[in-house]
Structure 1
């Protein structure tokens, strides 16, 4: 289904006491919040902790079956939808970055490696891990429902535990492995890229913002992502273009304007060079 405008949803849609955080059961989730069933773009992070369910979650056109215990992670800006049975068991958590940063310093979320890598959006849980997640999420849901004194501090602590455990699932590392300055620069680059990719499409802008040379930024990107900084910028722009072509009814000219290309023909050339097909052919093949 195509939309003239893809809905942007914030955590405030859940009408909770705190519009930066929400947690709830998967049971009858679509009856309570039907907008989740339609493709939408979220301003918040999502953790979908599945115990037992039937259905599908779709993230940027990639379908994930909800058939066994797993944790699905959705990053802000992705286009997401979920089709799930009424009797599903599990927990859904939504949180804005500001909720986490109120206790932890800014950009703390990007210290979790799974949030920075081009990796799968989910991990399967074995029996022991599934039980552990069920218990932790259960405690968290109870805390959210009780709304006792200090509830937000407790919820942030639980959330930090869940993210730490999820990071281990996505990327097991030895205890003495430490993050270095290069990784921090790469995280900062990705933050800047998400914010400025429409207006700034060359590596020099980001290198200047990071107070490093373009050559050094390329070296970091090649070391940790296997491609140049320019390729990462082009990839980010291409992903956004694919989202708009797949989920919206905007014309190619409108999408080119939204992404701040100098002309429609330049956008078409850019898209074909980076995907192998024209925007119109991409749209036709994903209908």
Structure 2
């Protein structure tokens, strides 16, 4: 079955495999399997039809070549190097680049990753164990080299009889999963930062038009079709302050400008900035600057 027909097969029966078409192994919590991609893919004309592993977790490392990935009804083509994480029971299939793709498939019993201590100690449970991930590595040569070395060592440990093999293999697996989790986290942060920068820019433009109106935070979130939580996160990520601080800073800045560059009475400045009570404006200004408006203006006059 080729990539274009992978999606059509979803409507039919989905096979439940332990290791592709192999019979289900005993539920040994220490069961871990690793094999290179070509040795398996060649048997199926480089196309692995959609299937699930109900009690198995997989990491598919594509070292060279390319792969078309089918995960839960969606398809995506990804060049090497990349790594794909497949939690238990996720419907997936692959079409690997014929004779050009190399890499490894690591399969772990669900009992290993669902172990209570593992779930408690592993810092990327949500990112890696509950959601499938496609992790490009091409722009991160340091990570690519480190992950490649870990998997090479895992392959050596798997095929050799060595003292402490079980402990070494588990350590290598945990190190690999930590490294992949960090890469997923870093990519997500980069996406969030780009999103927050755009959101912050739109927010400051909106604030510039409405700060005198003392609009609530919900006004800005509704205008920007987002949530106040997202706005606060954007403000914190970009400016190191919350939305309320941003609004108060803008009012304070304008008040300082008017006190310095005009002779308008403080009461009129208060009304111009949307305050109904000049006394409240004075208290607001003092909280923000440490001095009353009239004192701030007098200091300006003395400096001149």
What's the TM-score once normalised by structure 2's chain length? Answer: 0.49
Aligned equivalents of 1:122 and 1:22: distance in 2? 21
Aligned equivalents of 1:154 and 1:21: distance in 2? 13
Deviations 1:54-101 (A, max 9, x none): 331211122232322111111111111011123312121111122346
Deviations 1:168-195 (A, max 9, x none): 111149xxxxxxxxxxxxxxxxxxxxxx
Matching residue of 1:237:
none
Aligned equivalents of 1:133 and 1:162: distance in 2? 6
Matching residue of 2:242:
none
1:140–1:172 distance in 2 versus 1, CA, 3 Å: same
Corresponding residue SS for 1:72: strand
Aligned equivalents of 1:42 and 1:32: distance in 2? 19
Aligned equivalents of 1:154 and 1:75: distance in 2? 23
Matching residue of 1:9:
17
Matching residue of 2:150:
136
Report the alpha carbon displacement of residue 16 of structure 1 after superposing the two structures with TM.
Answer: 8.6
1:41–1:119 distance in 2 versus 1, CA, 3 Å: closer
Matching residue of 1:42:
53
User: Does residue 99 of structure 1 match 2:107?
Assistant: no
Match of 1:69 among 81, 89, 92: 81
Contact 1:90 1:134 in 2 (8 A): no
Aligned equivalents of 1:36 and 1:96: distance in 2? 24
Aligned residues: 175
Contact 2:69 2:78 in 1 (8 A): yes
**Unpaired runs of 5+ in structure 2?**
1-7, 188-228, 231-304
User: Does residue 20 of structure 1 match 2:31?
Assistant: yes
**Unpaired runs of 5+ in structure 1?**
174-222, 225-287
Aligned equivalents of 1:138 and 1:72: distance in 2? 17
Report the alpha carbon displacement of residue 157 of structure 1 after superposing the two structures with TM.
Answer: 0.8
Matching residue of 1:57:
69
Question: Could you say what the CA RMSD is over the residues aligned between the two structures, in angstroms?
Answer: 3.5
Aligned equivalents of 1:33 and 1:149: distance in 2? 36
Aligned equivalents of 1:107 and 1:7: distance in 2? 28
Aligned equivalents of 1:139 and 1:95: distance in 2? 17
**Structure with greater proportional helix content:** 2
Deviations 1:192-239 (A, max 9, x none): xxxxxxxxxxxxxxxxxxxxxxxxxxxxxxx89xxxxxxxxxxxxxxx
Aligned equivalents of 1:54 and 1:66: distance in 2? 6
What's the TM-score once normalised by structure 1's chain length? Answer: 0.51
1:22–1:164 distance in 2 versus 1, CA, 3 Å: same
Aligned equivalents of 1:60 and 1:109: distance in 2? 28
